[in-house]
Amino acid sequence: MKQLLTFSILFITTLFFGQNTKNSDAAMFFDSILMPVNMMEYFDPNEIESVNVIKKDTTINAVLYHGQLYIASKNPKKYDFIGLDQIKSEFTKIKSNDVIYMVNGTLIKDNIETFKLDRNYILEVEVTNTEAHYNLRKSDTKFDIINILGKTKENLDNKNNILIRGQEIIGVK
């Protein structure tokens, strides 16, 4: 009886805790380039010509995807995709590998190696060090934060605003 109970407990735990290496997302292709699904929010919907969905599981680079999503743009030659490491080397002077990436203030947590942005989408690249943050100055870990600002309506409006500060009112006597 003891052996039966032990065997059943081991069997049940292997069923519950056995991890599959399946990806729950679909493989997304933008103009025939494999892209992570979290990049979808950085595409202009007005530039999409067609979307084709295939509900067949596929394996790409030893990763199982549940379906395929093909997105065709109106002008495929318009896009020049670069990775986050290329953005770091071209837009900043950072030499260390300890970097946290953000796009429009949102932290990039997944698919850092495969994440790509259109070079024309980038408005500005801001670099902040841990020395600039009061809570992180005393920490032993030092890293840089790269915030990539895209050409969104809010970022373009903030870029074009001019703030005038002063005590006097100009033109009033």
Q: Which residue has the tokens 């033109």?
A: 171
The pLDDT of residue 107 is 86
Q: What is the mean pLDDT of residues 122-141?
A: 73
155/169 Cα distance (integer angstroms): 29
| pLDDT value at 21 more than 70 | no
Q: Which residues contact 165 (CB under 8 A, 6 or more apart)?
A: none
Which has the minimum average pLDDT: 15-19, 48-52, 134-138?
A: 15-19
The pLDDT of residue 173 is 47
The pLDDT of residue 13 is 64
